[in-house]
Amino acid sequence: MAGVGGRSSRAAGKRGGGAASSSAAASACVYYATTGVLVALCVAGAYFLTSTSSASIAGSDDGDKAAAVTAYRHTTRSSFAYEVTRDKEAPSPPREPEVEDGTMGKEDSGSEEDGGGAEQERGSAVTAAALDDPHAKPDLDERVSGGEDSKNEAAALDEEQSNDPARVAASEATAEEEEDAAAATGADKEQETQENDQDGAQEEQQSHLQMPRATVEERNLDGGIEEESNARQRQSDEEDRMSAGDEQPGTGILRREAQEDEAAERQSDEDRPDQEQTEEERSSDQSLVEEDGRTLVEVESDPGQEEGGGDDKAAESEHKEDTDGSGAGSENHGVVDTLQGEDSAVGAGGDQSAWATQRDQSHREKDRRQEDADDGNGTDGEEQHEWRTCNVKAGADYIPCLDNEKAVKKLRPENFRRYEHRERHCPDEGPTCLVALPRGYRRPVEWPKSRDRIWLSNVPHTKLVQVKGHQNWVKVSGQYLLFPGGGTQFIHGALHYIDFLQQSVRGIAWGKRTRVVLDVGCGVASFGGYLFERDVVTMSFAPKDEHEAQVQMALERGIPAISAVMGSKRLPFPGKAFDLVHCARCRVPWHADGGALLLELNRVLRPGGLFVWSATPVYQKLTEDVEIWKAMTALTKSMCWELVTIKKDRLNGVGAAFYRKPTSNDCYESRRRQQPPMCSDDDDANAAWYVRLNACIHRVPTGAAERGARWPADWPRRVRAPPNWLNTSQVGVYGKAAPEDFVADYQHWRRVMDKSYLNGLGVDWSRVRNVMDMRAAYGGFAAALRDHKVWVMNVVNVDAPDTLPIIFDRGLFGMYHDWCESFSTYPRTYDLLHADHLFSKIKDRCAVLPVIVEVDRIVRPGGSIIVRDDSGAVGEVEKLLRSLHWDVRLTFSKNNEGVLFAEKSDWRPELVAEPT
């Protein structure tokens, strides 16, 4: 048009002269003015349309979080927009496009386009509920579900800031520049504007046609071909990273506080629109497994977990649990975990003689019940506790129930003769101070290397090196304590000595017939440590005496041991528990006090089991040794023990006597003198918690259905099969017939171990050796770990059904304990604790705070705890552990059931408690 107007003006000038020229000049001025106004209006209109579209979407998002979100991401070429409409309900079919104020709304159900690789615009204020870092990890729920939700929704879109003053100013400046340029270029600029308008109309028409096919649309304001290619490449890279994460479950874990009811879950979904859960996801995340009418809580691990960025220690896990939608099993009432229903099951009918509790049997516990009722439950842990380091003489080796000097000072001289000063004397209230770490403490050496050496700084005691160094107990080498594997009776190594015992009595059959062993006066427990190579588990014990830290050294090596003494009270084990009892050079006065100590071994020894006595009276002829041998011979005959053989080990130059306990009562009844006497009928051989020794003999069971009448099946078959004496007339701890209860418990813990504990919690099992089940039932948790290089101390609580005999019969071991008191072990001796519904039970009898302090005492730095309990109890435990600076890696709760996993740190308080 500008060219045509120019030619007309020149022609008129030639024809009409000066008047015509003046008229043409006036027309040209009007024309250029009109053209400039039109150009300005076009520029202003384009800017107005863009601003209106952005403001409409942003305003809609503020009013309704489920509405469209528009975000701009800067590239090297231009800005391009993502327009997303999120539907919070189930994905619906594509709708017809709706246009409001020039803005097109679009549904989001999983387009493969992703802007995750674009860099965010700096300075933009975006709410976390709507947006995520484009470089962040994909959402955990979306990886698990595999449903129709978009795979790239984890990288949420940035919100546009339509009111940004800088951007408005820049736009105005651009408009002014374009207006000036238009006035200068004239008709050429007008033609270019018309061509751009036509291109824009074509793009708008194409977007209308494509919208029903794509629910998430990427519009590049400058063509978009290159940016679309980049988006697809970023999507491919993201999928590759997700695939790599799937191959390493448990390496890094996202954490989310699970909601306890459906209403809370819906509210959470509204706050986090990127975490939608489809029906397929809920089906795949089911982790409440119903079996034989019992619902068992399991924590399922996410196979697609990825390594968390930044903090190596902050590995957190999100696990989902849901009920079985089938609703099978009329016995289910919500969530029923391993020990749920125990109180109602016991005493519900049937033969309950097997389920008497140690608390009922113990005289001391009977006296304590009234005291507990008067004292109340103590603190509930709600107030913030001021942590202090214990100020005690024992220092870093503090065992509260064995280092109670105040109680020991009250003992009489005759009490010392029976070693009562080495027994448990627990303080009236559990300590609430924390045990300090030894100077230079280091994370323990891993098994199996730890059997041969440990860090000297962890157990900085060298007295045994000086006293027993020539017997190859322990030596010092630089920063290590070395254990050559010797002992007083086997200075040339434990393995040779173990083979010597097997050759002496072929019936021992290590790892088959003989599975559970008790080692009395164990020293540093090399005997038990090397029996692991023969598939034998050994309960080793020794007192905390002048042979300092011998049990601590054993536990630091990764060998089972407890601090205990044969004094005035029974050992914390049931009767007829051990397949073999061993005593190598243990200086125990077996013949004193009517043979009370040897009769205690008779109580815990299985009928037909062996007592191996490797001591100087067996093979030396010194006067003292001869007198002890005569007294021992008379005592064992009166107990009807059979002297199987006496053998001498030529390499070590020592001898051993082998005694067998009878399997019938014939010998007892035919004795001329009833000394020692038979125990009364009301003397339960399984009663052990604070029960005083009684120099009497318990009868041997002979009935086919009695426990101890038959030897258990050979290992490992005995770990799977219910003991023969469990019958259907007995009601198990979960309310079923005892044999069915046993099988269900075993299958449950196998499933939990395989699906959750081994991979889903983030536990580094290569660093786990010493494990404790703080509230064991049938020992199913330990049985599920039998193929791993760990050992498990099964603790049966004194107020729980007495199932410890079952644990021993299946080839495992454990002990009785009351968690209202301190455990008989050194600090920092366990790698992993497992507490299944412990704290909700114990809080009815004592405060939770001292129990958590005890947990902190016995767990090594870097060790961990798994808590499965009521959600309220889990919350209380979590609060206390966090105040102790434990790294709480996982917390989950649903339907009043909770799971917690936490790891202990090296933190110790700066404040020191008052001296005790």
pLDDT digit string, tens, across residues 74-132: 322 223 232 333 333 444 444 444 444 444 443 343 333 343 443 333 333 323 322 23
pLDDT at position 214 is 34
C-alpha distances out from residue 834 to 143, 347, 742, 838, 901, Å: 29, 27, 19, 9, 10
- More confident: 367 or 548: 548
As given in the structure block, the two tokens for residue 670 are: 């035919």
Task: Compute the distance between CA of residue 881 and CA of residue 892 in angstroms, rounded to an integer.
Answer: 15
pLDDT at position 235 is 53
pLDDT at position 469 is 81
pLDDT at position 278 is 40
As given in the structure block, the two tokens for residue 66 are: 């489920």
H or E element at residue 628: helix 623-638
Contact of 898 with 876, CB cutoff 8 Å: no
Decide if pLDDT at 363 tops 60. no
Decide if pLDDT at 237 tops 50. yes
Task: Compute the distance between CA of residue 801 and CA of residue 741 in angstroms, rounded to an integer.
Answer: 13
Residue among 297, 324, 308 nearest 256 (CA): 308
Region 722-733: what's the mean pLDDT? 93
pLDDT at position 863 is 98
pLDDT at position 46 is 62
Decide if pLDDT at 208 tops 70. no
Region 656-660: what's the mean pLDDT? 98
pLDDT at position 68 is 34
Share of the chain above pLDDT 90, in %: 53
As given in the structure block, the two tokens for residue 898 are: 């909770």
Strand partners, 645: 658
Q: Each residue of 388-416: pLDDT tens digit? A: 999 999 999 999 999 999 999 999 999 99
Q: pLDDT band at residue 760, thresholds of 50, 70 and 90?
A: confident
As given in the structure block, the two tokens for residue 469 are: 């160094």
Q: pLDDT band at residue 685, thresholds of 50, 70 and 90?
A: very high
pLDDT at position 36 is 76
Contact of 272 with 149, CB cutoff 8 Å: no
pTM, full prediction: 0.66
pLDDT at position 185 is 46
Decide if pLDDT at 337 tops 50. no
As given in the structure block, the two tokens for residue 186 are: 């004239």
Lowest-pLDDT range, 245-259, 264-278, 745-759? 245-259
HEC states along 542-607? ECCCCCCCHHHHHHHHCCCEEECCCCCECCCCCCCCEEEEEEECCCCCCCCHHHHHHHHHHHHEEE
Question: Where would I find the H helices in 766-847?
Answer: 780-784, 804-809, 839-842
Sequence-separated (6 or more) residues with CB below 8 Å from residue 34: none
Decide if pLDDT at 599 tops 90. yes
Q: Each residue of 835-893: pLDDT tens digit? A: 999 999 999 899 999 999 999 999 999 999 999 999 999 999 999 999 999 999 999 88
- More confident: 103 or 750: 750
As given in the structure block, the two tokens for residue 53 are: 């579209």
Compute the mean pLDDT over every residue in the chain, rounded to the nearest whole number.
73
